[in-house]
């Protein structure tokens, strides 16, 4: 092999070796990026209320579902609110208790089932299923209420609640 051919081969080998090192570096960088992305997602999912599988996330999902159903009910019923006779005091204001039964698809509403978290109060006319549907549970904690504009609020009942008569997630679900 001539000296010129040896230089060409050596040059070619150096070039291939440099490309190989670069690919290894890029692979390591890509792996680090993926690891950082997975870590970020895990951290975000661990923050209460950011995951549907977290108790706070389940609460907010139920609240959004009920709010959407209330708006649809009002639109379909000339602004009438889907309420029972009872009221609930939340943050020093009285709100009408939502008739969850009226929001069910079986009654022409928008939701297929009574959302988790709807409390059943024994011997009382102050829960969301008092209009005659099943689905509220004695082990659940929230009574859902509505103001005159259709905005949905909740109150947490029971000893497990962080606060009673206060809207928003109270650290317990359902």
Q: For residue 168, what pLDDT band results from cuts at 50, 70 and 90?
A: confident
pLDDT in tens, 104-147: 999 889 999 999 999 988 766 678 988 888 899 989 999 999 99
Most confident of the following: 1-15, 26-40, 73-87 = 73-87
DSSP string, the chain: --HHHHHHHHHHHHHHHHHHHHHHHHHHHHHHHHHHHHHHHHHHHHSTTSSTTSHHHHHHHHHHHHHHHHHHHHHHTTT---EEEEEEEETTEEEEEE-GGGGBGGGT-SBSSPPTTBB--TT-S-STTTTT-S--BTT--EEEEE-TT--EEEEE-STT-S-SS--S--S---
pLDDT in tens, 48-107: 555 555 778 899 999 999 999 999 999 999 999 999 887 888 888 899 999 999 999 998
Mean pLDDT value of segment 150-173: 91
Per mean pLDDT, which range of 17-21, 43-47, 151-155 is the poorest?
A: 43-47
């Amino acid at each position: 092999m001539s000296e010129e051919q040896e230089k060409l081969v050596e040059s070619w080998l150096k070039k291939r070796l440099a490309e190989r090192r670069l690919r290894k570096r890029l692979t390591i960088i890509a792996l680090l990026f993926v690891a950082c992305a997975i870590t970020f997602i895990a951290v975000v999912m661990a923050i209460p209320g950011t995951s549907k599988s977290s108790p706070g996330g389940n609460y907010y999902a139920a609240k959004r579902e009920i709010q959407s159903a209330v708006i649809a009910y009002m639109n379909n019923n000339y602004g009438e609110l889907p309420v029972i006779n009872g009221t609930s005091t939340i943050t020093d204001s009285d709100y009408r208790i939502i008739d969850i039964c009226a929001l069910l698809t079986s009654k022409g509403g928008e939701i297929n089932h009574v959302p988790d978290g709807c409390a059943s109060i024994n011997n009382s006319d102050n829960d969301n299923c008092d209009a005659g549907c099943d689905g509220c549970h004695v082990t659940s904690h929230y009574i859902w209420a509505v103001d005159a504009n259709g905005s949905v609020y909740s109150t947490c009942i029971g000893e497990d609640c962080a606060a009673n008569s206060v809207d928003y997630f109270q650290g317990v679900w359902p």
